[in-house]
Structure 1
Amino acid sequence: MVDWRKRTVQSGDVTLAVFELGDEGAPPVMLVHGWPDTHHLWDQVAPALAKEFHVIAHDNRGAGESSRPGGVAGYHIAELADDLLTVADEVSPERPVHIVGHDWGSVLTWEAVSRHGAEKRIASFVSVSGPSLDQLGAWARENLSRPTPRRVATSLSQIASSAYTAFFHLPVAPRILLSFLGIPAVWRNFLKVTEGTPADRVSIAPTLRRDMISGVALYRANIVPHLSHPEPHPTTVPVLELVNHRDVALRPAIFEHTHRYVQRLWRRDTPTGHWLPHTHPEYLTEAARAFIGYQETGSLEKPAWSERTRLIGPPQAFSGRLAVVTGAGSGIGRETAYALAELGCEIVAADIDAVAAEETARECRAKTVPATAYALDVADSAGFAEFANTVQRDHGVPDIVVNNAGVGLAGGVLDATDEQIDRLLDINLRGVITGSRLFGRQMVERDLGGQIVNLASAAAFTPQRDLGVYSASKAGVLLFSESLRAELADHHIGVTAICPGIVDTAIVANTPIAGLGSDEQAARDRLVRFYQRRGFTPDKVARQIVAAIRSDKAVVPVTPEASVGYRIYRFAPWLSRQAARRRVAAPVPTRR
């Protein structure tokens, strides 16, 4: 139970119930709820913020312990924005307030921050699951006036998600439905079904049913006027936009034009749902705390967080995300780092060759994203653990991990030495398992999802007489990735196995060939020429990796021969076994 201090504030004809926590001399932070909530929405967020800030929450008009105007006219967002500023003036007359708004609380705060001179009263704004209706209307108009397949698809997706708003405009039906949905047990179950919200995390006011019914006026008073005649205005108030990709009501695409109206915009995308204050209060608290602290002091415990999440221009596919790539000093690893950097990721480039890793990081920084290089031997489990801890401490928990580092070994299994086999398995299999476990634990603990990409090979499902040990290591990566994918599915962490075929990379020139002795170098030179003639370059694999991350694919055979081999092994494995007996022209691993 939160021990709020209560007072009332008069805003025109409306009496607002205001609640406070924390030291009144600390920087003021206002928490603004939406429909059908009250200030109790913040019961899991406010106490943590109150350790550093003066926390203020109020019940919006028509909700909780505040007045309930009759009819629809009293619920225009301009009226609610006036209420917000009145509370701010009353509680913090000398100091501008920081605002965290959710749902309609965010919608009405957009109205407030877009007013002339808003920066004098509002120091910053954290927007959660609540767009500016005017910006949304302008976005919809642009999609309709210049339709493309993508715009049509995103518009239809948002229309489907917002269908309930049309229902709320009906005369009688909403009251009947909401009278039932407003039963606390029913509402808790609804949130559990739609977003997996644990029942014990949902703080509900005793006025829930009345709040649901009276709050319908918000939709009737604002949706049609603002969407049909949008008038978006710019703001100089710094804004952090938390975009939830599993939001049942709002699709991420509707926020793609926010940068046009916000002079200083930060953005974080996560696979979270609409009721973030219930489902992930720790994440919301930390994001708000860090952002508000940065606006207050100009400094941040993790400066990369600010660099990574600030938008200069439109958001990219992976804006604000952190990607760790091993084996990033060359080949597929380097090209994957470049591809992710171009899409907005901060890059942590790790490689056993520190100089090569720094070259990759330098090129990523030229793409205007933060990038840092680290020396890493993935076969050193203790060193890998230290690296993972350093990444978490200095950069945060990664959103994307690409376990790419690997080596090759060709020739007969009987000719390979124990040292060659141990090194191969330590890097190719144990290194992938170590990276997946270390960063997977961090992702699970953070509880915001993520993507782990493990580089296997077409050799994992195309047996060859000259690649026995290498094939075993890659088959292990493939089955490990499939198993880990099942284990982490409940945490919304995807795991992908990438299986390239013949790719022209530096690994070929460095691969030992067991059993050839003095003829090994000549054989390797022939193989290098063969791979070069094949002409499938690492950047093509990187593009497939990015596509797999976007769609969360389980297994991706990359090259044409990999795709054919994958299907043969699945549907006619005897053909694979027959082919394996033949001595191929190029018995060398096909990655990096």
Structure 2
Amino acid sequence: MDSDFFDLNGHRFFVRRWGDPNLPTLLMLHGFPEYGGAWSDLAPHLSDRFHCIAPDQRGYGQSCAPEGISNYALSKLVSDMAALIKQFGGPVTVLGHDWGASVAYGLAMFHPKLVSRLIVANGVHPVPFQRELAAGGKQSEASQYINRLRAPDAAEFLSADNFAKLEQFFRHSMGLDWMSDARMDDYRTEWARPERLDAMLNWYRASPLVVAEPGAPCTDLPELPVDRLRVRCPHLLLWGPQDQALLPECTVGLEGFAPNLTRKQIDGTDHWLHHQRPQAVADAILDWVKDN
């Protein structure tokens, strides 16, 4: 693994890289509460086929963490990664997990010339996800944590006692416990960087997603520009079926937004499939790219 700093849109970003730079580029986008180093389980299984690049996204790790919620609007997060792709010549294959999937979808939808293929691992398209968040059903119930993470005191709450609450959140329903003490120490190091945790939480605060109370559907949602939210490149959705945060119903209807969609379930995994069964995830990706 090599690493470099890149200047993107006037901000400094830390990027880890695996594989030969002459190979096709795979942009790997982490979610909350991870950082670019979270791809160290999966990237070695893909580095014979791809030049894997994994940035600490805005607000995370060793990358910039500008103040203010408005600096974490999805348009800015997507713009950062569009600028990074241009540094490598584009178009590239993009892989996103969790919040990284939101950025990956944004790239595919709003910068289609930069994305040749889209791979999402336990992440969601905004339209089906908002539908389920607003329905007041199981996904609304599973996503109540979003409101807690948006609270002004969330960083203080989660960082108390050496990040005990954030570790508890991270480990919630985590199967095949891949989280060693040494690895958790690595995460704490990243979370403890100045102002980072509050910046990470700003991704939730800046999001316009509406989370209904269980049993109380929201019916006055803002209109979404559905015609602009389509993925036209080949799209692979990898899914850990034991995920407790993102439920299968939030991917129902995805084919309407991604007509060239392939679904692949990774059995025996949950939200953290890229850590739990990295070889199986890599095999699924490599099998798919042969035909796409």
TM-score (norm 2): 0.85
What runs of 5+ residues in structure 2 fail to find an aligned partner? 213-220
Match of 2:32 in 1: 35
Distance in 2 of aligned mates of 1:186 and 1:76:
23
Q: Does 1:64 align with 2:61?
A: yes
Distance in 1 of aligned mates of 2:166 and 2:248:
28
Corresponding residue to 2:252 among 232, 250, 256: 256
Give the total of aligned pairs.
Answer: 275
Relative distance call for 1:86 and 1:137 in structure 2 (3 A) is same
Relative distance call for 1:283 and 1:267 in structure 2 (3 A) is same
**What is the CA deviation profile of residues 294-346 of structure 1, one whole-angstrom value per residue up to 9, with x for unaligned ones?**
32xxxxxxxxxxxxxxxxxxxxxxxxxxxxxxxxxxxxxxxxxxxxxxxxxxx
What are the residue-to-residue correspondences of 1:401-440 with 2, within 5 Å?
none
**What is the CA deviation profile of residues 25-70 of structure 1, one whole-angstrom value per residue up to 9, with x for unaligned ones?**
1111111101111111101111121122111111101001100010
- The 8 Å contact of residues 202 and 278 in structure 1, kept in 2 or not, is answered as no
Corresponding residue to 1:231 among 225, 229, 233: 225
| Matched residue type, 1:131 | V
Distance in 2 of aligned mates of 1:185 and 1:254:
27
CA RMSD of aligned residues (A): 2.6
How much does 1:231 deviate?
Answer: 2.9
Q: Does 1:170 align with 2:143?
A: no
SS in 2 for 1:249: coil
Distance in 2 of aligned mates of 1:43 and 1:285:
12
How much does 1:244 deviate?
Answer: 2.3
Q: Which has the larger radius of gyration?
A: 1
Identify the structure with the greater helix proportion.
1
Higher RCO by CA contacts (8 Å cutoff, separation 6 or greater): 2
Corresponding residue to 2:263 among 240, 259, 267: 267
SS in 1 for 2:17: strand
SS in 2 for 1:7: strand
Corresponding residue to 1:128 among 121, 145, 148: 121
Distance in 1 of aligned mates of 2:161 and 2:286:
33
Corresponding residue to 2:5 among 8, 17, 31: 8
What are the residue-to-residue correspondences of 1:360-399 with 2, within 5 Å?
none
How much does 1:182 deviate?
Answer: 5.9
SS in 1 for 2:27: strand
How much does 1:181 deviate?
Answer: 7.5
Distance in 2 of aligned mates of 1:157 and 1:272:
20
Relative distance call for 1:78 and 1:39 in structure 2 (3 A) is same
SS in 1 for 2:237: strand
- What fraction of aligned residue pairs are identical, expressed as a percent? 22
- The 8 Å contact of residues 106 and 130 in structure 1, kept in 2 or not, is answered as yes
Relative distance call for 1:84 and 1:190 in structure 2 (3 A) is closer
Moved over 6 A (4+): none
| Matched residue type, 1:121 | L
| Matched residue type, 2:163 | I
Match of 2:191 in 1: 208
Match of 1:197 in 2: 177
Relative distance call for 1:235 and 1:192 in structure 2 (3 A) is closer
Match of 2:215 in 1: none
SS in 2 for 1:288: helix
Match of 2:217 in 1: none
Distance in 2 of aligned mates of 1:6 and 1:158:
38
**What is the CA deviation profile of residues 432-489 of structure 1, one whole-angstrom value per residue up to 9, with x for unaligned ones?**
xxxxxxxxxxxxxxxxxxxxxxxxxxxxxxxxxxxxxxxxxxxxxxxxxxxxxxxxxx
Distance in 2 of aligned mates of 1:198 and 1:278:
7
Distance in 2 of aligned mates of 1:27 and 1:87:
15
Relative distance call for 1:69 and 1:198 in structure 2 (3 A) is same
Distance in 2 of aligned mates of 1:248 and 1:40:
23
| Matched residue type, 2:190 | T
Match of 2:216 in 1: none
SS in 1 for 2:245: coil
Distance in 1 of aligned mates of 2:257 and 2:198:
33
Match of 1:183 in 2: 163
How much does 1:15 deviate?
Answer: 1.2
How much does 1:293 deviate?
Answer: 3.2
| Matched residue type, 1:231 | P
| Matched residue type, 1:274 | H
Q: Does 1:241 align with 2:222?
A: no
Distance in 1 of aligned mates of 2:240 and 2:18:
27
| Matched residue type, 2:199 | S
Relative distance call for 1:82 and 1:189 in structure 2 (3 A) is closer
Match of 2:218 in 1: none
